[in-house]
Amino acid sequence: MDRPEFLAGTAVPDLLSVADRKVRMRLKRVQPFLDHPNKRTSEIAAGIAQHLHDDDWFHRTPGFLNVTEAVAALFRELLGTDDGFRPGFLGHIASELLLDAALIERDSGRLDAYYAAMQTVDAENLQAVVNLMGTAQTERLASFVDAFRQVQFLRDYRDPERLLFRLNQVMRRVRLPQLPDTTIAILARAYVVVQDRVRDLLPDDKFTDC
């Protein structure tokens, strides 16, 4: 947590997916800034590059494919087999959020340290750097970073009821039907699936600290 700009950079693609979905981060646009003379700029670029790299291997692991299929099956049990692609979408999203929950459960102090480090990041500078390398310009990122630090919604992932609230926010953003309260029980079951497969999701050759 001693590299706050790098830490903020790792969050940028996910933050943009909520704050300003038209803006995308592409490795070929980020790489020229890895050696930027401004240390804060190069650290943000390095964090974004790390996120893109980790997304690439994480989503291709057998563990991720197996876990998302298992979680999607639970949502299909809830929503029915005729619910289109929503169970698969939820299997993907919920697996990632529940993995965060499992890691937070193991060491909640790290989440405190994460938010403490994020508080030191200049949100306006972060937005300005992102605008140097993004596929489009944004004026929404800085204010969303401030909200992200204030609300601290990552803490909600350990509570199935609060997690359902967050999932329904996602449903609204992507214009899919809201999930019923009975989803809470499904999320509790899905958490057990994810918790039991953390090593498969974060294999030793890629991630040694879980």
**Domain residue ranges of the chain, discontinuous segments joined by +:** 4-201
Question: Looking at the predicted structure, is the pLDDT value of residue 17 above 80?
Answer: yes
Helices (H), the chain: 4-19, 27-30, 39-58, 62-79, 86-106, 108-119, 123-133, 141-151, 160-173, 183-196, 198-201
pLDDT in tens, 51-100: 999 999 999 999 999 999 999 999 999 998 766 788 999 999 999 999 99
pLDDT in tens, 143-187: 999 999 999 999 999 999 999 999 999 999 999 999 999 999 999
What pTM was computed for the model?
A: 0.91
